[in-house]
Amino acid sequence: HNVYKVETIGDAYMVVGGAPSRVPAPLAAERVALFALEAVSFVRKFRTKDGNRIFIRAGLASGPTVGGVVGCSMPRYCFFGDTVNFASRMESTSKKMKIQVADITYRLLQDAPTASFVMTKRVEGDIVGVQVKGKGHQVTHWIERAGPRAWDSFVNDEEDVKRDVETPTISSKYSKENYGIKEADSAAEERNYTSEEIYDAMTTQDWESLGHASSSLVAATDDGYSL
């Protein structure tokens, strides 16, 4: 699935979809989501030598992070930032054999380049979403399944899972032939951004829109770049 294994922390397995090689945010989200679906599918059929089952849960979040090599005697490529913490919260508040995604990831998966995802909003009783430590109440979604994307339509012929019918706010320029990132006009002022602004910046703008100007270190992750 072209995901990068960052590390294992206890019983947690952490991967990233948009690094070390940078790709458009919807593609990065798609990679991790497909990896999570296959992991859950494998564990569902797996049995130990004693015939026992094991269970896992998964959580996804999307956004900017800081990555770098840490350590001298045992250097490791690590990631830091609010997005990493948010992804951890998505996993810890998920349920066994379920894949929970943040609202921004849900929006990105609606524009995934090669896969069509069936997702349902998390609702327990009359409460939509979940309370997340350090984030407050968050609207989240479950990934139910995925299949090949039909670029001329977004029709799901399976009716056993109820989908949200929210109208995607994706620009029509995101076609299979015209998929990429639009250059930012100028660097944005430092301020707090809404989820809609972050989503738009991740899908249609350069990282400067998030207040983090591109640098030679960032550019070094691009294919074909050499120092």
Query: What confidence tens digit (pLDDT) does each residue in 149-176 have?
Result: 875 444 444 444 444 444 344 434 334 4
- The 3-state DSSP composition of the chain as helix, strand, coil percent (nearest 5) reads 25, 25, 50
pLDDT band at 192 (very low <50, low <70, confident <90, very high): low
What is the SS3 assignment for 156?
coil
| pLDDT attached to residue 190 | 52
What's the rounded Cα separation, in Å, for the pair 22 and 29? 12
Query: What confidence tens digit (pLDDT) does each residue in 203-216 have?
Result: 665 555 444 555 55
What's the rounded Cα separation, in Å, for the pair 121 and 136? 17
Least confident of 65-79, 99-113, 180-194: 180-194
- Backbone CA torsion sign across 134, 140, 145, 151: negative
